[in-house]
Amino acid sequence: MTALSRTRFWTGPRLFALAAAASVLILFVGANVHLVAVAFSSRPDCVLQPLIEGAATYRAAKPSC
């Protein structure tokens, strides 16, 4: 009878694939957290008004800051 050889589960390519997947997931979550934080901290109702009257015919929001 021959003894069955046991292979290691955590080989180099598997560890690399796991680290790459974890890095991509962390980057994705971090980017989305940043987008949510910027969305909550921005003030879309506050826009800069031009110094010259009539320079901007279309305005994005109310001029209240």
Task: Quote the CA–CA distance of 12 and 63 in Å, as a whole number.
Answer: 59
What pTM was estimated for this model as a whole? 0.57
**C-alpha to C-alpha distances, 24 to 11, 21, 27, nearest whole angstrom:** 20, 5, 5
Q: Say how many domains are in the chain.
A: 1
Q: How confident is the model at residue 22 (pLDDT cuts 50, 70, 90)?
A: very high
Residue 1 located in a structural domain: no
Residue 22 in domain: yes
Encode 28-37: b = buried (16+ Cβ within 10 Å), e = exposed. eeeeeeeeee
Supply the range of the domain harboring residue 21: 13-41
**pLDDT tens digits for range 26-61:** 999 999 999 999 988 876 666 555 555 655 555 555
Within a domain: residue 56?
A: no
Residue 43 burial class via C-beta count within 10 angstroms: exposed 0-12, middle 13-18, buried 19 and up? exposed
For residue 52, the model assigns a pLDDT of 58
Greater confidence, 9 or 27?
A: 27
